[in-house]
Structure 1
Amino acid sequence: MEFRLIKLVMVLGIALQMWLVSIGNVADPEVNWEYIKHILSMDLVEGEGYKTRAILNESFQKIAYISIIILEFASAILCTAGSFLMFLNIRKDDSRGRQIAGYGLLVVIFLFFVCFYVVGGEYFQMWRAKGWDARQVAMWNLTTALLTAVALKIPDKRI
């Protein structure tokens, strides 16, 4: 049962993180909106070699930002629902809760690995935008989500 509690706390922690991030983006959208504009427009990247990749159209930038917020909320909802079911079934098989939480973690992994690390970091050269490189924060979120996903797949009987 202890390992089930560890899994539950891990999923709850990620749910809380994603709620705080998504609500923060709605409550104070300008903070991360500036970040999105700089990364997508590549205006802080020195040199011209990669600038053909830039998205300068503000409507497309807003679509990207809103999509990120939707993914954040989706992961928060799925991880919360999964952890709720895991809690209700803490003394028995909680495969449905783990499955739903797993989908939430999949969204977190997609968001922080594919969107931020690969697309933002490499395609839009975020690592070259001094002061705006969010790859480390993305890696923290990605690592936590991956560890939690692995923990969810370990059968309780093996511990």
Structure 2
Amino acid sequence: MFSATSAARWSKTLLLASVALFFTLVVFNNTTDFYSNYQFVQHVLSMDSTFPGNRAMWRALHPPAIQLAFYLGIIAWELVNTVLCWVGAVALFRAHNLPAGVFTQAKRIGIIALTAGLLLWLVAFLSIGAEWFLMWQSKQWNGQEAAFRMFTVEALILALLLMPEPAPAP
């Protein structure tokens, strides 16, 4: 039988590994099917599907080199996040049976990884994409729902990871 401490540690480890798996698949998809999501970035940055006549069109970025740089930046951020999540999950796995202080120290990389993921969704997609480039106005090229979903998932896992370990049973 699992103790409460062991179950909590497995939960934290497996959920962090699940985020690592998610980012692994995202990076895989963005590199093996490069142009599918590159089109998304192109349309968001060019603002070509926002409301007709909006007064913010001066924000649009049309140069392909800038659009490509944005997309490569997102992929790089996702790749770094992937590595951090896997390293964090392995650190938690290795510290699973060690004293609470050691397990707490092992959480550091996972905390950094989940924070980096939250920043990706909040800064790149919800702030820059949705608000600056008015992605919310597009019916076809609106990634807010997916970004919010992933922000929420990672935030909940981060909150769980930040929780202190249960005290061992006497």
TM-score category by the smaller chain?
over 0.9
Note closer, same or farther for the CA distance 1:112–1:88 as it changes in structure 2 (3 Å cut): same
Which one is further off, 141-150 or 87-96? Answer: 87-96
SS at match of 1:157: coil
2:10 to 5, 8, 14: 5
* Aligned residue runs from structure 1 range 4-153, under 5 A: 4-46=9-51, 47-92=53-98, 93-153=102-162
Once the two structures are aligned, what percentage of the paired residues are identical?
Answer: 27
TM-score (norm 2): 0.90
- Given that 1:42 and 1:124 are in contact with CA atoms closer than 8 Å, whether structure 2 keeps it comes out as yes
Give structure 1 stretches of 5+ with no counterpart.
Answer: none
- Given that 2:111 and 2:162 are in contact with CA atoms closer than 8 Å, whether structure 1 keeps it comes out as no
Instruction: Give distance in 2, aligned partners of 1:45 and 1:116.
Output: 16
Q: Alignment length, in residue pairs?
A: 159
- Given that 1:126 and 1:134 are in contact with CA atoms closer than 8 Å, whether structure 2 keeps it comes out as yes
Instruction: Give distance in 2, aligned partners of 1:7 and 1:24.
Output: 26
Instruction: Give distance in 2, aligned partners of 1:158 and 1:144.
Output: 26
SS at match of 1:132: coil
Instruction: Give distance in 2, aligned partners of 1:63 and 1:143.
Output: 27
> CA RMSD for the aligned pairs?
1.3
Instruction: Give distance in 1, aligned partners of 2:146 and 2:139.
Output: 15
Instruction: Give distance in 2, aligned partners of 1:104 and 1:116.
Output: 17
TM-score (norm 1): 0.96
Instruction: Give distance in 1, aligned partners of 2:148 and 2:71.
Output: 19
Instruction: Give distance in 1, aligned partners of 2:147 and 2:57.
Output: 23
1:47-102 residue CA offsets vs partner (Å, 9 max, x unmatched): 23111111111111111000000000111100000000100110123234311011
Give structure 2 stretches of 5+ with no counterpart.
Answer: 1-5
